[in-house]
Structure 1
Amino acid sequence: MNRVVLIGNLARDPELRYTSSGVAVVNFTIAVNRPFSNQQGEREADFVNVVAWRQLAENCANYLKKGRKAAVDGRLQTRSFENQEGQRIKVTEVIADNVEFLSPRSESNTQAGYNNNPFEQSSSKDPFADDGKPIDISDDDLPF
């Protein structure tokens, strides 16, 4: 079985390209925190290359940016090629079958004060603390 699931932050903006036959392909790197600290007490991360194809590639290019949190589900693939100096280069990457965008689009993505909770409001005011009046919701608005 070859299955990989990663959750992390993009280390760089996605790079969208198209093959000669017009198929979209995107490359990006996701930083995944390790579950332990090093001897200095610092958390380290692994930087994993991810490749997505077709519509998923275009969606990633449109909605993901450096610093945004994403979940990647896919398979591990190793390939090799010869560089311009004639050296054999081996590359291991995740071929994404599904990518979930975990950061809200409106997020500013500043490193300080990163807020992953889209429901958390900046003010401490309770949005449901009304003066006891009933909420008017039509039956068409209910999901059931």
Structure 2
Amino acid sequence: MAKLFGLARIGRDAELRYTTGQDAVCSISLAFTWGKKGADGKRSTQWVDGALWGKRAEALAPYLLKGTLIAVTLDEVHIETYQGKNGESTKLSGKVLDIELAGSPSAAPAPTQQPAPRPAARQAAAPAQNFADMDDDIPF
């Protein structure tokens, strides 16, 4: 099967839904830019639909917001045919194997779910000697 990997921007906020068997599936629309810049100074864009499944879909959905830059690997990439407004159209689709947040959207709205409150900071008598003693500010 074909694989696709690279940097992409998310085209719309992720949509989390559940199958009849209660399996979580998160749909994301990805915009990959490719080729040389044209006369207008922009590169061509290839849109690809991706799907995350299971617990990863539930955990990542609040952070997959429109405009976010991600590094993504898609597996089982294939062409789907569908009936659009102007007749029959095609699109690329695939299953997300690996995903990493690489940047934030330009106007970052707050996620719909509130992150868990952080525990109170510890009062250290001496400066931290290793990185294990430091608090993480990473929300995921």
Whole-Å separation in 2 of the counterparts to 1:80 and 1:41: 31
Q: SS of the residue aligned with 2:65?
A: coil
Whole-Å separation in 2 of the counterparts to 1:92 and 1:108: 23
Whole-Å separation in 2 of the counterparts to 1:91 and 1:108: 24
How many matched pairs?
Answer: 113
1:109 aligned residue (106, 109, 117)? 106
Instruction: Deviation per CA, 1:72-126: give whole Å up to 9, x if none.
Output: 1121034567x6xxx98765302111111112xxx56239xxxxxxxxxxxxxxx
Q: 1:30 to 1:88 in 2, by over 3 A?
A: closer
TM-score by length of 1: 0.63
Task: Report what 2:136 is aligned to.
Answer: none
Say which one has the larger Rg.
Answer: 1
Between 61-70 and 40-49, the greater mean CA deviation after superposition: 40-49
**Between the two proteins, what is the percent identity of the paired residues?**
22
Task: Report what 2:25 is aligned to.
Answer: 25
Aligned-residue CA RMSD (Å): 3.1
Task: Report what 2:34 is aligned to.
Answer: 34
2:127 aligned residue (119, 125, 136)? 136
Q: Any gaps of 5 or more consecutive residues in structure 1?
A: 112-134
Contact 1:7–1:69 (CA under 8 A) maintained in structure 2: yes
Contact 1:56–1:98 (CA under 8 A) maintained in structure 2: no
Whole-Å separation in 1 of the counterparts to 2:51 and 2:132: 39
